[in-house]
Structure 1
Amino acid sequence: MTDLKIIIRIARTDLAILFYSPIAWFILIVFSFLTTASFTSLMENIVTDYDLSGGKEVSLSGICFLGSYGFLSSVVSNIYIYIPLLTMGLISRETASGSIKLAYSSPVTSGQIVLGKYLAAIGFGCYLMLVPIASAIYGSLVIPSFDWAPVLVALLGLYLLICAYCAIGLFMSSLTTYQVVAAVGTLIILAILNFVGSIGQEYDLIRELTYWLSINGRTIDMLNGVIRSEDVIYFVVVVTLFLTFTTFKLTSDRCTISRFRQAISYLGFFVAAMAIGYFTSRPGMIKVWDTTRTKLNSLTENSQHVLAKLTGPVTITNYVNLLDNKSYRYLPIMKKANETIFEPYCLAKPDLQVKYVYYYDFAPNGVANNPKFQGKTVDEMRDYMTMIYNLNPHLFKSPAEIRQIIDLREEQNTFVRIMETQDGKRTFIRDFEDMDATPSEAEITAAIKKMISTPPTVAFIKGDGEREVSKSGDRDYSNFSIEKYSRAALINQGFDVCEIDISHGDTIPSLINIVVLAEMRTPLTEKGENQLEAYLARGGNLFILTDTGRQEVMN
C-alpha cells in the first residue's frame, strides 16, 4: 500500500470517528446556527440602510462580506472557539485508550499518522466552510454585480486560519491523554500567538520576529480581498511547524530519545520556521495581489506613476520629539503599526526605507505645558517621560545634538517626517490636526510629486484689503493655504503658495500658475489692474473669490 493510500485511509477512519461522536455534530449545528443568524442579521441591517439611503450605489458585496465589519470577519473572530473542541481527541483519545500502540506496532510511520489525522481535521473544516460558502452564494444571487474574487480570497483566508488552528490543536492533543487539557492547551497557544506580537517591540530584531509570529490580524488583508505572499507563507510555515512538532512527539514516544535531544530538535524546528518567516517578510520578498474590481487596496495608478519617477534609494526619516504630545504614537513599541502607512510605497519601491530619529526638545504644544513640569529643565522632563514609557534615556538626542543634524524649530519641534532622495532632494510629510491625523495616499503622493517636478505656484494678491494667507482668522485663508498641520492646506496638496502686491505695478512673475483675487475692500489701482490684465492676456489662470455686499469694489 502506498504512503498516500495509508494517509487517506487514516483520514477517512478518523473523519468517520469524528461524526460518530456527539461533539462533532454539536460543533457543526452550533456553528451553522450562529453563523447563519449573524449573516441574516447583517443582511437585514444592510438592506435597511440601503433603503434609507434611497438605493445609493455602493459596493454591497464588499459591505456584506469584506472588511472589519463584514460577515466573514465575524466568522474569523469566533472560529477559535470550535477548533479546540474538534481536535482535542484526535490523538489524546487513542493515547488514553491505548489504541495508539496498535498504530505504533503496524508498518505505519509517525508522519503518516499525523498527516492522516490532520487531513481528517481539515476535512471537517470543509464541512464548516459550507455555511459561509452558502452565504456567499446567496449573496451573489441577490446582490447586483457581485464581486466574487475578493469574497473567494476572504473565504480562503478563513480556511487557512482553520488549517492553522487544526495543526496547533493536533499537536496539543499529542501532548496529553486528557481531551479537556488538550482543548485548553490549544486555547492557550492561540492566546499566546495573538499576544506575542506585542512582545519586544522596542528592539528591532525581536520586533520583526514576534510581529511575524503573531497570528493576530493575519487574515485582515484577505478579508479585504488582498492576497499577500507573507500571509500565505505564514500559514504554511505554522502548519508545517506544528505538524513537525507532532510527528517528532509521536516518534519520540515510539523510541527512546533523550530530553536534551528533544529540546534541541524542537528549538531547531522553531528557529528554522522563524528564519523562513523573517526573510519572506522583507519588503523586497513580499508579493501582493489585490483582487478587488477597482483595486481598492492598492496604490492608484497616479501614485504608482509618480513613485516610478523616483530614482535610487529613498529614505523617510521620522523625527520623534519625546516632549511632544504626539510622541507616544511613534515610540519604538508602535513602529510596526506606523509602518502600515508607507507599506504600499515600500512594496512598490523596495529601496524605500523608513527610519526613526528620537530626540527631546521644548515643543510649544508639548508636555511642558503640564503643570507638573513647571520649572523643570528639558533633561528632567526627558528623564520623567522615559521613566513613564520604560525607555532608555540615551535613545533620545539632546536639543544640541538634534540641531547638528536638522533644525526642526520651524516645525515647532513637533513630529514630522522628511523624505529624502540620494541626490539630496527632500520633502516634508506631516501629521494633521484632525480625526485621522496620519497622511493619506493623496498627501504622501503630493509630497513625492514635489520632489520630482516643480509644483504649481498659487499667488494670493494683497495690498487692497484682500483676504490673506498669512493670517488665521475667520476672514483669512491660512488654514487652507499655508497651515502646515491642515490636511486641506495647499502646501500639503502639492502646491507652493506666495503673496504678491501688484498695487505699485509690479509684474506678476511667469512662474505663477494661478492667481487668487480674494474679496478686495478697496478697488485695484490702475497699475495693479494693468498688471492683472497683462497676466490674463498671456494665458494666466485667475480665481476671483467674493462675498455678498462687495459687488461695487469687485466689479
Structure 2
Amino acid sequence: MKQTIRIARTELQLLFYSPIAWLILIVFTIQASLVFTGSLEGFVNTKELGYPLHSVTLNLYTDPWNGFYAKLLGYLYFYIPLLTMGMMSRELSSGSIKLLYSSPISDAQIIFGKFMSVAAYALLMTGIVSLFTLYGVFAVDNFDLPATLTGLLGIFLLIGAYGAVGLFMSSLTSYQVVAAMGTFAVFAVLSYTSQLWQNVPFVRDIMFWLSISGRTNEFIGGIISSEDVIYFLVVIGLFLGLSIYRFRSVRQKTRASVSLVRYLLVIGSAVIIGYLSSRPALMFFYDATRTKLRTLTKASQDIVRKAKGGLTITTYGNALDEDRLLIFGLPPFELQDMRMFREYIRFKPEIKMKYVHYYAKGNNEQSLNMRYPKLSDKERVGKIAQTFGLDSTMFVPVNDLHKMKETLAGEHFRHVKVLQRDSGQQSVLRIFNDPMLFPSEAEISAAIKRLVTTLPKVGFVGGHGERDCIKEGDRDYNKFARENTFRYSLINQGFDFEQLTLDQEVPAHVSILVIADMKTALPELHLQHLQQYIDRGGNLLIAGEPKRQETMNPVAGLFGVQLMEGRLVRPNKDFQADLLFAHPTQEAGKIAEAFGLIGKNRQIVVMPSVAGLQYNNAAAKGYTATPLLAADTAGVWNELETVDFVDDSAVLNPAAGEAAANRTATAVALSRQVNGKEQKVIVLGDADCISNGELGHSRKDIFPANFLLIAGAFNWLSDYQAPVDVARPPFTDNDIHIGKTGFKVSKIAFTGVLPGLMLISYLVIWIRRRRQ
C-alpha cells in the first residue's frame, strides 16, 4: 500500500508541476461558474420581477435534466482525456517504463497508484463543484443539502470512471494525442451501447446496462441506487483490470492468446456482476430528498404492498398505431419503458414486464391509406418493420390474440398496458392525449388498486334528459367519465361507472349516483327508488342549471337545498355576464386536498350560467351543510329578468326582486350519519362546469381549476379511495436571500476571483520550482 501511495503522490506532483492540471482546473472552474450563475440569474430576475419561487434546490441544482449538476456533466468528458493521456503514454515514450519494469513494484500497485492520483484530482474537481453547493446553503431558504450531496457523489464517480478509461487508453500507446482520441472514442461507445442489439433480450439487457449515458441522473435527482453505484465501480474495476493485464503482458512478453483470455475474463466478470446488480431483487435505494421526491408516496406503497403474489404488466404495441405512439410499441423502447416502473419494482421486485407486438387497424387508418394506399395491412407492417430494422414476423395479427382482442378493441387498438395478477384479475393502464403522454404515479397506482380492492362504482342516471357520460358532445360528461385517453377521466383514476335508470332500484354495487341537469321531473316511482338509495346511505353528485329549478329542486330538496330562481351574474367587459368565477371556501380545503389546492394555486372554478344555492333547510333534513364554492367577488347579483346575455345587458333591478349575491354558494357539500356510515352529497348550481365543452375550453388569462373540482368531489364521495392521493409534503425552499447586487458580487467571485486564486497558486508553485 505504501508503494501505491508513493506512486500516487509522485503522479500528483507531476500533474501539478505541469500547467495542464492547473489549466483544466481553471477552465473547469470558469465553465462551472458560468453555468451556475447563468441558472442563478434566472431565479434572481424572477424574484426581482415579483414572481414567487418554487422548490429552488430542485430547479437550481438537482433537476436531472436542467439543473446545475446536469448541465455541468455535459462538459466533464472534455477534461479527463487531457488529464490522463500522458499517464502511461509518457512512460512509454520517454523510456521510463523500463525503470518501472525493473523495480520491485507489482503491476497492480503501479496502476492503482496512478488511478489514486486521478481519484484525488476527481475529488478536487468535485470539491470545486461543492463550493457552488455550499453557496446554496447560505443563499437558498431551507436548502435541501442532503439531496445535493448525492449529486456530488455521482459527479465524483463519473470522473473516476472517465479517469479509469483514460488510464487504460494511455497504456495502449506512446502517443498522448492518440490516447486522448481513443478515450473520447470509448466514451462515445459507452454512451451508444444502449442503442445496440435491442432486439435480443439478454444481450439488450447487458448493452443497456453498459451504457454510461444517464447513469448519474438518479444521483443528481437525490437518490442513490445500488445498481448505479455498482455500475461505476465495475467500470472502474474493468478498465483498471484491463490496464493491469495490458501492463503485465508487455512486461512479461505474454502470448497474445493468453492476454486475450485474461481480457475476456475481466470483461466477462464485469458483465456478470453488472447483470446480477440490475436484477430488481438485488437492488437497493436511498432517497435523500427532503420530501422523498424520488420514492413512491405512502399511498402508492400501501397499494403495492396489498398486491401480493405475482403481477405481470403486458404492453400491447400496435405496429399500425398512431404515428406518435408507434415508437413506444417497438422493441428498442422496451428497456426505457421498464424504467418507468422502476419505483414500483423497487417495492415489488416480482413484477414481470412482457411485450406483445401485433397489428390491427386503429385510429391511424387515414394516415396509413395516404402513405400506403395500395398495400394490405400485412404489407404495411412489413414496410414499417423495414424502416426500423425489425423482423416483420414479430408482429402478429390481432385475431391471433384471441381473448385480448375484445379488450384491445375497446381501447381502439391504441398502445396500452394490461396489468394481471396470478389470480386472473386484470386492469388496463393507458397513455393519454396530452403533452405528458405517459401515465403518472396517480394513474399507475389507480390501475394497481383496481386489482386489490373494490373501488367505488359510479352510476349515471338517465332517462330524463340528463347529461350523458357516453356521448362526446360539449354538454355531456364523456370526457371526465368515459374517455380513455383523457388522463383525469374517472375510468383512469380508479372508478368504474355505468348508466342506469330509476325505473328500478339502484343496484347495490353502486356507491355514487350522478344526477345532472334533468330536463323532465322524476315520476313518482323513480322518486321512490331514489329515496330508497338515499335511505341506505348512498352518496350523490347533483348538478343543476338555471332554468332547471322546476325539475331539479324536488331532488335537491330531499337534502334541504334549493336552486335559487334566475342565475348569478357579474358584468364583465371580456365575457358574458353570466360566466361566473367561483372561489373555494376555507371549509372546502378540510373536505378534500384538491379543493385546498385550488386556493393555494390561486385558481378559480369557471361556472358558465350558474344558479345560486340556498341550504337553510339542510339541518332540518338531518344534514350538515358546508359551502364548497362561492361567488365571493363584489358586484355579483341574482339576475331574474335577463335571459339573453349576448344581445342584452344585465342590469341590477331591485324592484324586480334582484339583490346582491356575493358570497352566495354555488356548490354545497352535505353529510350525515346513516346505517353506520357517513352519507355524502354534493350539489352544484351548474352542470356545465364539468362538461366536455368546459373542460376543453381555454380563456385568455383565466386559469381554471375545474379538473380539481372533479377530483376533489369524487375523492370525498368515494371516502378518499380514489383518485389515489399522491400528494407530497410541500416544498419549503421557495426563496433566495440575494438580489441583483448580491448576484453581481457572487458572479464576480465565481467567474473572476476563484479562477484568479487558482492562477496565482500555480504561478507561486511554478516560481518556487524554478528557483529550486
Task: Name the TM-score class by shorter chain.
Answer: over 0.9
Which residue among 59, 72, 75 is the counterpart of 1:63? 59
Is 1:425 paired with 2:421?
no
Which residue among 159, 164, 167 is the counterpart of 1:162? 159
Native 8 Å contact 1:456 1:512 kept in 2:
yes
Name the SS of the counterpart of 2:244 in structure 1.
Answer: helix
**TM-score, normalization by structure 2:** 0.69
Match of 2:512 in 1: 514
Would the alpha carbon gap of residues 377 and 53 (structure 1) be closer, same or farther in structure 2, given more than 3 Å must change? farther
1:261, 1:367 → 2: CA distance? Answer: 61
Which residue among 174, 192, 216 is the counterpart of 1:195? 192
How far off its partner does 1:366 sit?
4.2
Larger Cα Rg: Structure 1 or Structure 2? 2
1:386, 1:14 → 2: CA distance? Answer: 54
Native 8 Å contact 1:324 1:367 kept in 2:
no
1:432, 1:42 → 2: CA distance? Answer: 32
Name the SS of the counterpart of 2:435 in structure 1.
Answer: coil
Match of 1:232 in 2: 229
Q: Which moved more, 1:507-516 or 1:160-169?
A: 507-516
Match of 1:392 in 2: 391
Match of 1:312 in 2: 309
Match of 1:269 in 2: 266
**TM-score, normalization by structure 1:** 0.96
Output the amino acid matched with 2:416.
V
1:186, 1:99 → 2: CA distance? Answer: 23
Native 8 Å contact 1:418 1:428 kept in 2:
yes
Would the alpha carbon gap of residues 461 and 211 (structure 1) be closer, same or farther in structure 2, given more than 3 Å must change? same
How far off its partner does 1:226 sit?
0.7
Structure with the larger RCO, 1 or 2 (CA within 8 Å, 6+ apart): 2
Native 8 Å contact 2:320 2:361 kept in 1:
yes
For residues 159-215 of structure 1, what are the alpha-carbon distances to aligned partners after superposition, in whole Å with 9 as ceiling and x for unaligned?
000000110111111111111111111111111100111100111011101101111
Match of 2:3 in 1: 6
Name the SS of the counterpart of 1:370 in structure 2.
Answer: helix
Which residue among 528, 531, 550 is the counterpart of 2:548? 550
How far off its partner does 1:399 sit?
3.4
How far off its partner does 1:278 sit?
0.7
Question: Which runs of 5 or more structure 1 residues have no equivalent in the other structure?
Answer: none
Native 8 Å contact 1:368 1:374 kept in 2:
no
Output the amino acid matched with 2:24.
I
Question: Which runs of 5 or more structure 2 residues have no equivalent in the other structure?
Answer: 554-772
Would the alpha carbon gap of residues 453 and 48 (structure 1) be closer, same or farther in structure 2, given more than 3 Å must change? same
Name the SS of the counterpart of 2:437 in structure 1.
Answer: coil
2:293, 2:377 → 1: CA distance? Answer: 45
Match of 2:401 in 1: 402
Match of 2:355 in 1: 356
Query: Size of the alignment, in residue pairs?
Result: 549
How far off its partner does 1:526 sit?
2.9
Match of 1:538 in 2: 536
For residues 303-327 of structure 1, what are the alpha-carbon distances to aligned partners after superposition, in whole Å with 9 as ceiling and x for unaligned?
1111111121111111122111223
Match of 1:280 in 2: 277
For residues 453-477 of structure 1, what are the alpha-carbon distances to aligned partners after superposition, in whole Å with 9 as ceiling and x for unaligned?
1110111111111111011110000
Is 1:344 paired with 2:338?
no
For residues 37-56 of structure 1, what are the alpha-carbon distances to aligned partners after superposition, in whole Å with 9 as ceiling and x for unaligned?
21112111122224446435
Match of 2:745 in 1: none
Superposed counterparts of 1:111-260, under 5 Å: 111-260=108-257
1:372, 1:117 → 2: CA distance? Answer: 60
Is 1:295 paired with 2:295?
no
Identity %: 40
Match of 1:382 in 2: 381
How far off its partner does 1:529 sit?
2.8
Native 8 Å contact 1:114 1:247 kept in 2:
yes
Which residue among 99, 104, 116 is the counterpart of 1:102? 99
Match of 2:448 in 1: 448
1:118, 1:553 → 2: CA distance? Answer: 83
Native 8 Å contact 1:330 1:338 kept in 2:
no
How far off its partner does 1:225 sit?
0.5
Runs of 4+ with >6 A deviation:
none
Output the amino acid matched with 1:331.
L
Would the alpha carbon gap of residues 367 and 464 (structure 1) be closer, same or farther in structure 2, given more than 3 Å must change? closer
Measured on the aligned residues, the alpha-carbon RMSD in Å equals: 1.6
Would the alpha carbon gap of residues 101 and 222 (structure 1) be closer, same or farther in structure 2, given more than 3 Å must change? same
Going by fraction, where is helix more abundant, 1 or 2?
1
Would the alpha carbon gap of residues 347 and 53 (structure 1) be closer, same or farther in structure 2, given more than 3 Å must change? farther
Native 8 Å contact 1:323 1:368 kept in 2:
no
